[in-house]
Amino acid sequence: MRILALVPGGIGDQILFFPTLDDIKQFYPESQIDVIVEPRSKGAYRVCKSIQNILTYDFKDANSLADWGNLLGIMRDREYEVVISLGQRWTVGLLLWLTGIPKRIGYAGNGGIFLTDPIPLKTEQYAAQMYHDLLQGMKIATPFKGISINVPKTDIDEAEAEQQILGVAESGYILIHGGSSQLAQVKGIDKIYPTNYWQEIISELQQKQPNLPIVIVKGPEDAPWVNEIIDSAPDVKVVTPRDVGKLAAMIAGANLMLCTDSAPMHLAVAVGTYTIALFGPTEPEKLLPKSERIVAIKSSTGKMEDISPQEVLQKIWGGEG
């Protein structure tokens, strides 16, 4: 069986969709599953073992009729038997209908008229569970088991070597990811925790746990705030993972992960690292599963700057206790 999934969104959205892909592969082990994702999200599939081909298409770009035509041609040429789409726009539904793919699964709504199997959209759920509901269209009744990833051994080895270089292999470490995607910043989505608040948290952590190193993840867009942290706390160590696999392996090795609502947060959930995540306008219940290993701190005002450093520190020490 040839199956195609259209998964718009960032790396976090792809990770949340992994359980759906994994259960399709488990139910149909001989199937070929391809995905169409935005170029920025292709790297997520380094830690997903259920996919054969990754095709890219910029769903958010101002696409011309020629762009849509090219995508339509690709989907037709590969003769898929099933297509699953997370997109809810009527134009996506129309596109799926034009492909001639016999089984078209997606959410009921604007484009539902073009689908063979429209599935009720239950937005109040954890997003990974909401995506998993699409399996109803394939008559797969496998219970939702949570997110899991498949980190290549080479990435684990590289992370272990990095831990040795940083001098944290024996002691363990607290990992901090405080960055945000450029797209979130462009859209004005408040996912950045103030640098001076991070500095206050790091200062107290170093005072109370001087033997537990602090490591900061530095992404491509994180240089300004990371440099500020290093200026105020030179003992903080910095890691710059080359891809999602190395990042996941570094998260797996941490004693504690401190982060904002981001793709690394979903990786932390997948690898089971004890995590404290900060939320501004987004809702933790929709982005995190219920787990004793995950603590969400939601701003009462929807603004990240209104989460005080003391509130975060109380959760840290409470978690240790």
pLDDT at 180: 58
Per residue in 10-58, pLDDT (tens digit) is 999 999 999 999 999 999 999 999 999 999 999 999 999 999 999 999 8
Distances (CA, A) of 231 to 16, 196, 223, 261: 36, 12, 12, 25
Per residue in 63-89, pLDDT (tens digit) is 677 888 888 998 999 999 999 999 888
206: pLDDT strictly greater than 90 = yes
Q: How many angstroms separate the CA atoms of 2 and 9, rounded?
A: 23
Distances (CA, A) of 298 to 278, 308, 315: 6, 11, 12
Q: What single string gives the DSSP state of each residue in 131-157?
A: HHGGGGGGT--PPP--------HHHHH
Average pLDDT over residues 242-250: 97
Q: How many angstroms separate the CA atoms of 254 and 235, rounded?
A: 17
Per residue in 280-319, pLDDT (tens digit) is 999 999 999 999 999 999 999 999 999 999 999 999 998 5
pTM of the model: 0.92
More confident residue, 112 or 33: 33
Do residues 293 and 273 touch, judged by C-beta distance below 8 A? yes
Average pLDDT over residues 108-125: 91
More confident residue, 92 or 301: 301
Q: What is the mean pLDDT of the chain?
A: 92
For the chain, list the domains and their CATH numbers.
2-138 (3.40.50.2000), 153-320 (3.40.50.2000)
pLDDT band per the 50, 70, 90 thresholds, residue 61: low
